[in-house]
C-alpha cells in the first residue's frame, strides 16, 4: 500500500477536480470531473490514463465530463447505487461499503443533505476525504434535497473522522464562507488569522484546499452548531435548529 498523490485542478468557474494516482503509476482516478479540457490536461501532464471516476453526487458541475472521459479512456464510473440522476455507473456503491482503488481502501460515507444520495469517499489509511459539496472550508453545501436533521447528522459523522483528515471539497468557496463566518463569530482570533491566510492565497491565485478537519472543527460554524456562541445567536440549544437557522442565514447572506 502506497500513499496516493492528489493533484487539485480547477474546473469551470469555482469547482475543483482531483486527480488521484500512486507515484510513477500510469493510471489515475479523477474525482467529480466536469471540465473535459482540464481533465485531459491534468492526465496528460501526469502522463497517465484514466481508470476510475469517483462521483460524489449528480450535479452537472461534478459530472459533465463523465461521458466523454469514459468514452476516451474506458474508465469505470463509481457512484451511489440509488442516485438515478448520475451518469451510467459501472461500480455502484452504498453507505459503509469499502472500495479499493490502486490498493488504497476508500470507505463510502453517506452524507445526505446537499442531495439525498450524496456520498463522501474516505481513505482511512491516509486520512483523506473527498467531501464533494457536503463540507467546505468554513462552510457546507446548500441544502437542495435534504432536511436540517439529515444534513446535521451527515456533518456529525464527518466531525468524528480523525482530526488530521485532509478535506478535499468540490468548490473554492472559502473566502465567501469566511465573510459569513466572521459576521457571526467576529471575535474569533483564530478565524481572523485564518482569514488573513485565505486572502493571501486568493491574491496569489492559490487554492485554500485541502483543509484539515482539526481546523474546520474549530472554525467552521456549520460544524459548531453545539457551540454556545451560535446557540445564543440562533436562540436554541438544539444543534439541528441552530444548523437550520444558520444555513438559512447563509443562503440569504
When binding is defined by CB under 5 A, the residue of 133, 172, 185, 216 that contacts Fe ion is: 133
Q: Decide whether 83 or 133 has the Cβ nearer to Fe ion.
A: 133
Q: Binders of Fe ion: how many residues, by CB under 5 A?
A: 2
Piece of 18-26, 59-67, 71-79, 217-225 that binds Fe ion (CB under 5 A): 59-67
- Residue linked to cell 451511489: 80
- Among residues 58, 62, 80, 118, which one is catalytic? 62
Binding flag, residue 59, Fe ion (CB under 5 A):
yes
Is 227 a known active-site residue?
Answer: no
Is 80 a known active-site residue?
Answer: no
Piece of 10-18, 55-63, 69-77, 191-199 that binds Fe ion (CB under 5 A): 55-63
| H or E, element range at 99 | strand 98-101
Is 61 a known active-site residue?
Answer: yes
Nearest distance from C-beta of residue 61 to Fe ion, angstroms: 6
Piece of 32-40, 132-140, 187-195, 229-237 that binds Fe ion (CB under 5 A): 132-140
C-alpha cell of residue 215: 481546523
Nearest distance from C-beta of residue 19 to Fe ion, angstroms: 20
Is 125 a known active-site residue?
Answer: no
Q: Decide whether 59 or 247 has the Cβ nearer to Fe ion.
A: 59
- Among residues 61, 68, 227, 238, which one is catalytic? 61
- Among residues 58, 59, 80, 118, which one is catalytic? 59
Nearest distance from C-beta of residue 115 to Fe ion, angstroms: 7
**Closest C-alpha to 8, from 24, 27, 32:** 32
Q: Which residues contact 115 (CB under 8 A, 6 or more apart)?
A: 57, 58, 59, 83, 133, 144, 145, 146
CA–CA dist 23, 206 (Å, integer): 23
C-alpha cell of residue 228: 454556545
Nearest distance from C-beta of residue 140 to Fe ion, angstroms: 11
- Among residues 58, 80, 114, 118, which one is catalytic? 114
CA–CA dist 223, 110 (Å, integer): 17
Is 62 a known active-site residue?
Answer: yes
Q: Which residue is closest to Fe ion by CB?
A: 59
Where are the alpha helices (H) located in the chain, listed in sequence order?
A: 36-45, 60-63, 66-73, 148-159, 174-184, 189-203, 213-219, 228-233, 239-251
- How many CA atoms does the CB half-sphere of 79 hold within 13 Å? 29
The answer to whether the peptide bond before residue 123 is cis (omega within 30 degrees of 0) is no
Which residues belong to the active site?
A: 57, 59, 61-62, 114, 133, 171
List of residues contacting Fe ion (CB under 5 A): 59, 133
Amino acid at each position: 500500500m502506497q500513499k496516493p498523490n492528489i493533484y487539485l485542478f480547477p474546473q469551470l468557474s469555482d469547482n475543483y477536480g482531483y486527480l488521484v494516482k500512486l507515484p510513477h503509476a500510469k493510471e489515475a482516478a479523477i474525482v467529480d470531473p466536469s471540465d473535459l479540457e482540464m481533465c485531459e490536461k491534468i492526465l496528460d501532464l501526469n502522463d497517465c490514463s484514466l481508470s476510475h471516476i469517483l462521483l460524489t453526487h449528480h450535479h452537472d458541475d461534478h459530472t459533465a465530463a463523465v461521458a466523454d472521459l469514459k468514452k476516451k479512456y474506458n474508465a469505470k464510473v463509481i457512484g451511489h447505487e440509488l442516485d438515478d440522476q448520475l451518469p451510467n455507473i459501472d461500480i455502484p456503491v452504498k453507505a459503509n461499503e469499502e472500495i479499493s482503488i490502486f490498493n488504497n481502501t476508500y470507505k463510502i460515507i453517506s452524507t445526505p443533505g446537499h442531495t439525498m444520495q450524496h456520498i463522501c469517499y474516505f481513505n482511512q489509511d491516509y486520512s483523506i476525504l473527498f467531501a464533494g459539496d457536503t463540507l467546505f472550508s468554513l462552510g457546507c453545501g446548500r441544502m437542495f434535497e435534504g432536511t436540517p436533521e439529515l444534513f446535521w447528522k451527515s456533518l456529525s459523522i464527518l466531525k468524528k473522522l480523525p482530526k488530521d483528515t485532509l478535506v478535499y471539497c468540490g468548490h473554492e468557496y472559502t473566502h465567501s464562507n469566511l465573510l459569513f463566518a466572521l459576521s457571526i463569530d467576529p471575535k474569533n482570533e483564530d478565524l481572523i488569522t485564518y482569514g488573513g491566510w485565505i486572502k493571501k492565497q486568493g491574491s496569489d491565485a492559490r487554492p485554500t484546499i485541502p483543509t484539515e478537519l482539526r481546523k474546520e472543527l474549530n472554525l467552521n460554524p456549520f460544524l459548531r452548531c453545539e457551540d454556545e456562541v451560535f446557540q445564543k445567536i440562533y436562540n436554541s440549544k438544539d444543534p439541528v435548529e441552530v444548523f437550520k437557522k444558520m444555513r438559512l442565514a447563509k443562503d440569504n447572506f
